[in-house]
Amino acid sequence: MEEKREDGQTQEERRAQELLEEKEAESRTRTYSGPMGTLITVLLCLWTVFQLYYSTVGLISAVNLRAIHCIFLLCFTFLLYPTYKKEKRLRKAPPVWDILLMVLTAAVFGYLILNYTRIAQNGGRLTDLELVIAGVGLLLAFEAARRCSGNLAVLALIFLAYNWFGRYIPGRLGHNGFTLKRVLSTQFWGTQGILGTGIGVSATYIFLFVVFGAFLKYSGFSKFINDFSLTLVGRTPGGPAKVAVLASALMGMINGSAIANVATTGTITIPLMKQTGYKKEFAGAVEAVASTGGQFCPPIMGAVGFVMAEFLGMSYTKVMLAAIVPAFLYYLGLLFAVHFEAKRLGLSGLSKENIPDAMKVVKEQGHLVIPLVVLIALMAVGYTPLYAALISIFATVAASWLRKETRMTWDKIVAATVEGARSAVSVGVCCVIIGVIIGTVTLTSLGLNMGYLILSIVDNTNIYLTGFLVMIMSAILGMGVPGVAAYVIVQAVAVPVLIKVGVLDISAHLFCLIYACLSNITPPVAMSSYVASGIAGSDQTKTGLLSVRLGLVGFLIPFFFLDSPILLVGVDPTATLAATLWAVFTASVGTVALVSGLEGWLLGRASWPERAVLMAVAPLMLYPGYLTDGIGFALLAAVVAFQYFTRRPASPVPGNA
């Protein structure tokens, strides 16, 4: 039996807690007691009110909104995030140096707000003082990013250095170099740097939907999702794992952070899977993969869908429809993976007494889904996502009051507001520092040059080889970065490459989005997998590799809509409804065949030759075409018939909990 400390924690629990603190930014923040704690609560609430008002109905220029948002983000970073890892977390007041950094932040961005219009009218001519202010602003942004996301700060520093050292790089990736004045002007005073698209996304979509997710959490929506998922799949083989998949998908699409989702839902679902009999590596991988997919799962897509709609200049409804089938196939594959694994291990579902009554769950908690219905309905009739999110936040409070058990009191409303604002800080700072990356890409034409480099390696018409190289680039650029932020980086560099070889705009954006999100489970920086591994007490490397295997459907699907977007609903104008439905059906069969081959189970245990045939069926069925579909069905039918007539009895394998 594992030895316990005086606080009751086992060694495994301590290891999980340490890893969570290392990987999850929100667990590393300072906690203030006394008047300072009260003051921070008030400031976070005021910031939320400001953002909700000026992101929707208030009148303010885009630059001023972004600059004020920067002030709040950086000041709260210096307040909440420690300067170094071993710093004392519980405090009565912030250190003197952080107070100075906050004052400096307010002064620098305050000067920008007061003088931006004048400088723009003067053609962007800057004085020496204004260049110094720009340099200080960049240093403040890098310090904040270092505390919130060290990996991203290093990546941004490399991009910043490229502005000067790119002149020494030969070939297409080199350039003539830029002066310090030009770089500072672009990065701080322009709208392509830290006040560019990244911070614009943070100040609007990200903040509102993070707060919305916090309100849903405090209304009891998370409990409703877990209970409802139990009623649907709890008694089936491997029920707890299927519950984890459904619950994590629904919560992940709302909060938009795979890591945060693992750290919250995973603490419930992973131990439950282990108790059922799943191996600890498998339990951690399931939670990581399920949480990651929520970032591109409609209808909310973790706020990324709204950002994509802005980039594409089309309605969010079209983006949401296009993402439905890829997300469906991703989770279909994961559900069958846990089902086949349960059958292979001889696991059963939960007993009837541990499953809540479906009608009781709907009756007592069903009203909590009203805010999601309101959100989707408002967007469907033409309201902006920001306005719809604002109304849905109020609808969440109103819906919670329909029953006494779920009623959000004033304390809960304040707690939801504070948690939402705090959660938005780390993602927002990532968006600030992303401005340095995008500013460099714009100034140096790095995106175009990288595209030309890739196109010089491959044939201009070879969509799949180009897609493969873009997949690698997207996964690398998205490593260790929140979903929305990863997409903003990747679309600036990778999307133009795909469009250049003839891929439709929306197909190119979805392709890059999916791989940017999947970087959360792609070693060596598989953040979601490592956090899940910490909770499960499993081997990090094994959990990361297993996550890739379970999420393999997600890695393959984007290639099948590159040159034939029939799988993206509403994108291909030549596709009839019947053709689209058939393509979705065959793709679903191909997904199940792929998972069956990987897990080694269909009607029963599959031999290696059978697994090889099943994995060969997958691409044939995923690729739209009647000839490939016919061959795929024939091969699948042969395996099914062979297993049916020569079925081997299952020999349960004991799980290693």
**pLDDT, position 387:** 84
CA angle 612, 615, 620 (to 5 degrees): 125
In whole angstroms, give the CA distance from residue 241 to residue 270. Answer: 8
**pLDDT, position 2:** 43
Coil/strand/helix, residue 583: helix
Q: How far is CA 417 from the centre of its chain?
A: 21
Task: Say which range, 7-16, 114-123, 426-435, 642-651, has the weakest mean pLDDT.
Answer: 7-16
**pLDDT, position 65:** 92
Closest CA to 546 of 360, 330, 279: 279
**pLDDT, position 453:** 73
Torsional class of 88: left (φ above 0), alpha (ψ -120 to 50), beta (otherwise): beta
Most confident segment among 243-252, 284-293, 535-544, 572-581: 284-293
Closest CA to 258 of 302, 201, 210: 302
Interval 316-341 mean pLDDT:
88
39 and 157 in a common domain:
yes
* Alpha-helix residue ranges (DSSP H) falling in 166-238: 180-184, 197-201, 207-219, 221-233
Interval 272-288 mean pLDDT:
84
Q: What is the DSSP letter of 648?
A: P
**pLDDT, position 112:** 92
**pLDDT of 432 over the 60 cut:** yes
**pLDDT, position 137:** 93
Residue 638 in domain? yes
Please provide the DSSP assignment of 122-178 as one string: TTT---HHHHHHHHHHHHHHHHHHHHH-HHHHHHHHHHHHHHHHGGGS-GGG-----
Last residue of a domain, one of 565, 599, 630: 565
Tokens standing for 262? Answer: 């693992």
Tokens standing for 479? Answer: 């490593």
Coil/strand/helix, residue 380: helix
pLDDT band of residue 647 (cuts 50, 70, 90) is low
Contacts 24+ apart (CB under 8 A), 225-231: 225/250, 225/251, 226/268, 227/356, 227/361, 227/365, 228/358, 228/361, 228/362, 228/365, 230/350, 230/354, 230/355, 230/356, 231/355, 231/356, 231/357, 231/358, 231/361
Number of other residues whose CB lies within 10 A of the CB of residue 188: 26
**pLDDT, position 572:** 74
**pLDDT of 335 over the 70 cut:** yes
Task: Say which range, 202-206, 460-464, 620-624, 650-654, has the weakest mean pLDDT.
Answer: 650-654
**pLDDT, position 76:** 94
Residue 357 in domain? no
557 and 590 in a common domain:
no
**pLDDT, position 423:** 82
Task: Say which range, 6-20, 40-54, 218-232, has the weakest mean pLDDT.
Answer: 6-20
Interval 309-314 mean pLDDT:
82
In whole angstroms, give the CA distance from residue 504 to residue 140. Answer: 39
Helical packing angle, 410-444 and 128-148, nearest 10°:
120
- Average pLDDT of the chain is 81
18 and 66 in a common domain:
yes
**Are the CB atoms for 319 and 308 separated by under 8 Å?**
yes
Q: What are 144-154's pLDDT values in tens digits? A: 999 887 777 88
Interval 429-435 mean pLDDT:
84
Residue 301 in domain? yes
**pLDDT of 158 over the 70 cut:** yes
Please provide the DSSP assignment of 466-493 as one string: HHHHHHHHHHHHHTTS-HHHHHHHHHHH
Residue 626 in domain? yes
Residue 25 in domain? yes
**pLDDT, position 350:** 66
**pLDDT, position 23:** 45
**pLDDT of 98 over the 70 cut:** yes
**pLDDT of 26 over the 80 cut:** no
603 and 537 in a common domain:
no
**pLDDT of 265 over the 80 cut:** no
**pLDDT, position 483:** 66
Interval 490-499 mean pLDDT:
80
* pTM for this prediction: 0.73
**pLDDT of 601 over the 70 cut:** yes
593 and 558 in a common domain:
no
Q: Which domain covers residue 605, as residue numbers? A: 576-648
Q: Which residue has the higher pLDDT, 527 or 638?
A: 638
**pLDDT, position 136:** 94
**pLDDT of 95 over the 80 cut:** yes
Give the chain's domain count.
3
Interval 186-191 mean pLDDT:
86
537 and 476 in a common domain:
yes
pLDDT band of residue 8 (cuts 50, 70, 90) is very low
Helices (H) and strands (E) in the chain, counts: 30, 2
Closest CA to 477 of 519, 431, 446, 529: 519
**Are the CB atoms for 521 and 544 separated by under 8 Å?**
yes
**Are the CB atoms for 526 and 544 separated by under 8 Å?**
yes
593 residue type, one letter: A
606 and 639 in a common domain:
yes
641 and 552 in a common domain:
no
**pLDDT, position 535:** 75
**pLDDT, position 570:** 73
Distances (CA, A) of 428 to 72, 378, 421, 433, 517: 10, 26, 10, 9, 17
Interval 405-426 mean pLDDT:
89
**pLDDT, position 99:** 92
297 and 339 in a common domain:
yes
**pLDDT of 72 over the 90 cut:** yes
Last residue of a domain, one of 533, 565, 597: 565
**pLDDT of 657 over the 50 cut:** no
In whole angstroms, give the CA distance from residue 277 to residue 272. Answer: 9
534 and 588 in a common domain:
no
**pLDDT of 260 over the 60 cut:** yes
Interval 431-454 mean pLDDT:
79
Interval 28-39 mean pLDDT:
85
Q: What percent of the chain has pLDDT over 70?
A: 89
Residue 435 in domain? no
468 and 332 in a common domain:
yes
CB burial class (10 A; 0-12, 13-18, 19+) of residue 99? middle
Interval 111-123 mean pLDDT:
87
Interval 452-476 mean pLDDT:
75
pLDDT band of residue 49 (cuts 50, 70, 90) is very high
654 residue type, one letter: P
Residue 391 in domain? no
Last residue of a domain, one of 513, 532, 565: 565
Most confident segment among 313-317, 346-350, 633-637: 633-637
pLDDT band of residue 12 (cuts 50, 70, 90) is very low
Measured in degrees and rounded to the nearest 5, phi and psi for residue 90 equal -85, 120
Enumerate the β-bridge partners of residue 91: 32
Q: What are 572-586's pLDDT values in tens digits? A: 777 778 888 888 899
Tokens standing for 127? Answer: 């004085």
Distances (CA, A) of 235 to 219, 239, 321, 339: 27, 6, 32, 12
pLDDT band of residue 109 (cuts 50, 70, 90) is very high
**pLDDT, position 475:** 74
Q: Strands 90-91 and 31-32: what pairing?
A: parallel
Q: Which residue has the higher pLDDT, 128 or 259?
A: 128
Residue 214 in domain? no
**pLDDT of 654 over the 50 cut:** no
Q: Which residue has the higher pLDDT, 396 or 384?
A: 396
Q: What percent of the chain has pLDDT over 90?
A: 14
272 and 178 in a common domain:
no
